[in-house]
Structure 1
Amino acid sequence: MTAPATDRRLSGFSGAGYDKGRGLLTQAAWFAVLNLVFMKWWFPPRLRPPLLRAFGARVGERVLIRHRVRVQWPWKLTVGDDVWVGEDSWLINLEPITIASDVCVSQGAVLCTGSHQRRSPTFEFDNAPIHLAEGSWVAARAMVLRGVTVGAGAVVGAGAVAHRDVPPGVVHTTGGAA
């Protein structure tokens, strides 16, 4: 039996509980820098971490961020040492994303801290932080959803969706943990 549909009224959406963390001018400046410089193939990878730091991110040493990587709000990003972020990755950090040291986020991966309360008639936010523990790997085109911790040495396999915590050392694939 199908549950009754929610009487959705998006015009009443308030966005309650979501704080972008910076004023409109800083948001606009980041949006311009992100799209005009940061994501471009010609912008040297060695300059991406300092640029993120200039906008409030905490970024460790020897961090490699490839081109076409999108970061929603750098001031809500913490990255450890020796981290790789592959091209076309998207860090949708409405809430904080913490990436520990020796983590690989592969090509096209999505880390999304945002969601909505599906039973809310006004579809209010239901956001939560993401944490990638030391030595974890989010493989190509995988997705980590709001509130998830990927444990130390764990893997979110290519194309998989992690909608709940992945314990340390576990390999999570589209068919579940392996």
Structure 2
Amino acid sequence: MRNLPAFTLAGYEKGRGKLVQALWFAVLNTVFMAWFCPAALRVALLRAFGATIGEGVLIRHRVRVLWPWKLTIGDHSWIGEGAWLLNLEPITIGAHVCVSQEALLCTGSHDHRAADFRYRNAPIVVGDGAWVATRATVLAGVTIGRHAVAGAGTVVHRDLPDLTLQTADGRRPVEEPV
């Protein structure tokens, strides 16, 4: 039987104090996600709040990042419009990665077996050259391999090996990129 009032944040570290968290939420919701905010400013804001962002990164509008200080993005990667990086734990995105529109990378979960519904969070890693297509969901603890593709609308709940395509109807190899 679930006992939700027993839930606590035990074992979960946000990584910054309440003032920095509040400041980030203010920036996120007034400037960062806005259509008029230049992509270069989005990158600068993430870096100012502790993210490690490579060169030539493009972050579109309506992107949500829970904690910038738990985010690493490699060179020349794209984060598409409306993507949600729900990073209670670290998210590491390699170089030349495309995270498409409205994709969700979610490092948070709960232990469904525990009455207190405690957190069961884990980091996400997206390898170089991978593509997380539109509205794909990548769950806590998953590694997306190099040049792998999480197809549109798929839910990736276990590691996706290098050069693998996952679609709603299964997994298959993809050709080596040129």
TM-score bracket, normalised by the shorter chain, equals over 0.9
Pairwise CA distance, 1:47: 1.1
Amino acid of the structure 2 residue aligned with 1:95 = E
Pairwise CA distance, 1:174: 1.4
> Of 129, 132, 137, which aligns to 1:135?
129
- What's 2:27 paired with? 33
Residue 98 of structure 1: SS of its match in structure 2? strand
- What's 2:82 paired with? 88
Which ranges of structure 1 fall in alignment gaps of 5 or more residues?
A: 1-6
Root-mean-square deviation (CA, aligned residues, Å) is 0.5
Q: How far apart in 1 are the matches of 2:168 and 2:112?
A: 23
Pairwise CA distance, 1:175: 1.8
Which ranges of structure 2 fall in alignment gaps of 5 or more residues?
A: 173-178
Pairwise CA distance, 1:173: 0.8
Q: How far apart in 2 are the matches of 1:132 and 1:171?
A: 14
- What's 1:64 paired with? 58
Amino acid of the structure 2 residue aligned with 1:69 = V
- What's 1:76 paired with? 70
Amino acid of the structure 2 residue aligned with 1:74 = P
Q: How far apart in 2 are the matches of 1:174 and 1:48?
A: 33
**Number of aligned residues:** 172
Alignment of 1:97-112 (within 5 A): 97-112=91-106
- What's 2:175 paired with? none
Residue 40 of structure 2: SS of its match in structure 1? helix
Which TM-score applies when normalising by structure 1?
0.96
Pairwise CA distance, 1:46: 1.4
> Of 39, 63, 74, which aligns to 1:45?
39
Structure 1: 4+ residue segments shifted above 6 A: none
Q: How far apart in 2 are the matches of 1:37 and 1:177?
A: 39
Q: How far apart in 1 are the matches of 2:114 and 2:170?
A: 29
